[in-house]
Structure 1
């Protein structure tokens, strides 16, 4: 077996993210082309199509609208996010919860902040492995202890789950794609050492706090809302994720290279 190498890291500072046009109820930061932000050179990262960091004011939100052929999930950071869809599902989810919908052949849903405080959540879209899946819905609720100083596996896919140290198996919802999603909320100085498999890549978002990504002799320092594209070479690549002085709450989306 060849010796592991150092993964390549492309840092995306928060100030480089596109911000939605001003409106009274919504502020969104777009990691990829979306809505009024169109950049032909920034449309996806492999199967990852959308990462939006949304702030929704109380008693407002996204009214009923259709989707199809997309794996869509939301991870709540503050406040509460209510989901209602044409399949008859309705629930309100708080911090650390994940809500997943496979739009498949078509579904209509609404996402609202019915609470009294601003709701912040990350919404992510992943391109499915084929068109025409049957629509489905799922959600999981977690306490801080589930992700505290450990990697919590919140969504799985059609491929294998990486055998990383400290991995906590969650109540996983299955994506129609070879991808895995992990979250972790860490105290200052906590470090996770992981290996990206050959032909794999990952998208990292520092949702809260700060984080250092070390690979080989290179270090990338990330602050709140920064992102990074991590790509392995033709052999497994090592990297470490270390929480900064204020701790770090991050999401890591691991997937095969290419669509």
Structure 2
């Protein structure tokens, strides 16, 4: 007997036009997907463990000076230019396109994120709520050439649970990806137009899909550059999500995570 077809995952679009654009200083332009800094929207406080998704443009010779964090899992994914991270644990590193900088703030840490080059730096910064408070702070990073994510799914961060069972999902190089203190997995792809990926959500799982560059469809719904979608599965059974690149390409990021009780 043939297996029953999976129910399609539910898609709630988050258009780029609905994002809050913040320009607090001359060198920064940010787009906030969730309530942050000078932006408050009761309907956009979080999505499961996901607390912050900011699309940041930082001009050359400027950036976020040293400031504190605690009890947050924070990572940045670089799209253009170079981003330099430095922290109170003694880490300092500058990464370019495809680079991932991850910091678990835990019991408390200070860090800076600056663009000490001439070209404007664009990066996506994501904050997640950790599974426990007061953890020991840590830093991790990885760099990925385009080939590692070209027409394939590349896992850049792992979590406390198993990786999703997605066809063609590749680990980030020869080393395991840095591990988040949350039941969350982070996957990217830069796919040519016409390439499709099956991203089945397991029972009680959900995902936040961000089209960073280009355009794609998610279960037939179109997302352009900077559009996002909240993707919800079935609480008791797997749900199907097909992501297909449109036009020349689509560069997208997926944060897959546990679905809170009750949806």
Q: Is it true that 1:228 corresponds to 2:223 in the alignment?
A: no
Task: Name the residue aligned to 1:91.
Answer: 93
Instruction: Structure 2 unaligned segments of length 5 or more: list them.
Output: none
Structure 1 stretches of at least 4 aligned residues deviating more than 2 Å after TM superposition: 1-4
Scaled by the length of structure 1, the TM-score of the pair is: 0.96
Asked if residue 195 in structure 1 is aligned to residue 227 in structure 2, the reply is: no
Q: 1:168 matched to which residue of 2?
A: 170
TM-aligned CA deviation for residue 166 of structure 1:
1.3
| Equivalent residue number for residue 161 of structure 2 | 159
Q: 1:54-108 CA distances to partner (integer Å, 9 max, x unpaired)?
A: 0000000000000000000000000000000000000100000100000000000
Query: In 2, are the aligned partners of 1:198 and 1:236 still within 8 Å (CA)?
Result: yes
Tell me what 1:44 maps to: 46
- Residues 98-109 of structure 1: matches in 2 within 5 Å? 98-109=100-111
Indicate the residue corresponding to 1:242 in structure 2.
244
Whole-Å separation in 1 of the counterparts to 2:10 and 2:88:
42
Give the distance between the partners of 1:209 and 1:82, measured in 2 at CA. 26
Kindly state the Cα deviation for residue 21 of structure 1 after the two structures are TM-superposed. Answer: 3.4
* Cα distance in 1 between the residues matched to 2:197 and 2:6: 17
Which residues of structure 1 form unaligned runs of 5+?
Answer: none
1:127 aligns with 2:132: no
Q: Does the alignment pair 1:150 with 2:155?
A: no
Classify the secondary structure of the residue corresponding to 1:159.
coil
Distance between the aligned counterparts of 2:185 and 2:155, measured in 1? 7
Stretch deviating more after TM superposition (181-190 or 15-24):
15-24
CA distance in 2, matches of 1:208, 1:6: 24
Q: State the 1:6 CA deviation.
A: 1.3
TM-score, normalising length from structure 2? 0.95
1:247 CA displacement: 0.6
Distance 1:45 1:119, change over 3 A: same
Q: Report the Cα distance in structure 2 between the residues aligned to 1:125 and 1:204, rounded to whole angstroms.
A: 15
Identify which of 180, 185, 188 aligns with 1:180.
185
How far apart are the structure 2 equivalents of 1:196 and 1:149? 20
Measure the CA separation in 2 of the matches of 1:3 and 1:147.
Answer: 28
| Matched residues, number | 255
Task: Using the TM superposition, give the Cα deviation of residue 160 of structure 1 relative to its aligned residue in structure 2, in angstroms.
Answer: 0.9
Q: Distance in 1 between matches of 2:24 and 2:224?
A: 24
Range moving further from structure 2, 46-55 or 20-29 = 20-29
1:39 to partner: Cα distance: 1.0
Which structure has the highest strand share of the two?
1
- Name the Cα RMSD after superposition: 1.2
Quick check: 1:26–1:57 contact (8 Å CA) kept in 2?
A: yes
Secondary structure of 1:163's counterpart equals coil
